[in-house]
Amino acid sequence: MEAEQDAPEEQLVIPLMVVHSSNDCTVNKKASELIRDSWIRRYGASPTAYETTDCTKEGVNCIHRKYGIPGRSTVETVFYDGATGDLLGKGAHYWVGDNNGEFANAEGPSASELFWDFFSRHAAVAQTCPGENHAPTIKLLGEATIELGVGDAFADPGATASDAEDGNITAKVTVTGSVDNSARGTYMLRYNVSDSQGCQASEVTRKVIVNSCQQWTANNVAHVAGGRAQSCYFWFYCAKGSGDYLGFYATTTTTVRKEDADREFYSVGACPE
């Protein structure tokens, strides 16, 4: 999936909206939170919402949060306190706020209105192209994902832009975002452009990963203390996440690595050179 997402044609930011009941007994709310977090991570948005509004309606508490860039969200979530259903939870998983039915409850904020508002604000191409004018297109130069070591120099390969009416408009491309090559992390660069008629291209992004791999050489006691290992059979230990075998209690010294700063996943072996 990660390799597929790295393809140049997949760099358009696709906004996502999630509507979920906090009391859903069929699909746990945690599933929506994980979807939200993975989308924020994929497109490098801030995990702090830029806008939070109260969407409470008909006595059903509801919070609407928006993440990303004001005016064009990366992710929006609507979490509401829906019905809890019967003793077995039946009736807690439903479409909210429009009509009553076996899997629908008319009480609360209207999901249809929320989705309509979301899609009306997130057209794939801005609807400002006059007449028969065509939207410009942006093409990344270089790889969509670039990996660096801490301290390595970084020069943005940039992007080109073309327009059916204006021709080459590469000089008009704007880039937002930055890369700190002194600090481990994942950074996103966003490329945008508009033609002479104000018609906007679909935004594309580049991901820059600065040495997210870390390694530790220690005995099992130290690995456990550092949260890198856990007991997997009596006094034998394994790396947390991968389950790679590390050996017996304190007598074994091994090197383990963590390749993703955002995941508690450790493997045996040193970081790649």
pLDDT digits (tens, 9 = 90+) for 125-151: 544 576 777 888 899 998 888 888 777
Cβ contact 106:83 at 8 Å = no
Q: Quick: pLDDT tens for 78-114.
A: 999 888 877 766 778 888 888 888 888 888 898 888 9
Nearest Cα to Cα of residue 207 among 14, 44, 12? 44
CB proximity list for 106: less than 8 A, separation 6 or greater: 97, 98, 99, 100
Among the residue ranges 40-44, 86-90, 106-110, 199-203, the one predicted with the least confidence is 86-90
Q: Which residue has the tokens 């493997």?
A: 267
Q: Is the confidence at residue 163, as pLDDT, over 60?
A: yes
Residue 14 CA to residue 75 CA, distance in Å, equals 9
User: For residue 179, what is the domain's CATH number?
Assistant: 2.60.40.10
Q: Which domain holds residue 58?
A: 14-120
Q: What are phi and psi of 236, to 5 degrees?
A: -105, 145
Average pLDDT over residues 59-86: 87
Average pLDDT over residues 9-27: 83
Residue 206 CA to residue 8 CA, distance in Å, equals 9
| Residue that terminates a domain, selected from 173, 193, 210 | 210
| Residue that terminates a domain, selected from 69, 85, 120 | 120
187 and 241 fall within a common domain: no
57 and 116 fall within a common domain: yes
CB proximity list for 3: less than 8 A, separation 6 or greater: none
CB atoms within 10 A of CB 262: 11
221 and 195 fall within a common domain: no
Is 183 part of a structural domain of the chain?
yes
| Residue that terminates a domain, selected from 165, 182, 210 | 210
Domain count, the chain: 3
222 and 243 fall within a common domain: yes
β 51-54/95-96 pair status: unpaired
If you count them, how many residues does the chain have?
273
Average pLDDT over residues 53-62: 89
User: pTM, whole model, 2 decimals?
Assistant: 0.53
Nearest Cα to Cα of residue 267 among 247, 245, 235, 236? 245
Tokens of 262: 């955002």
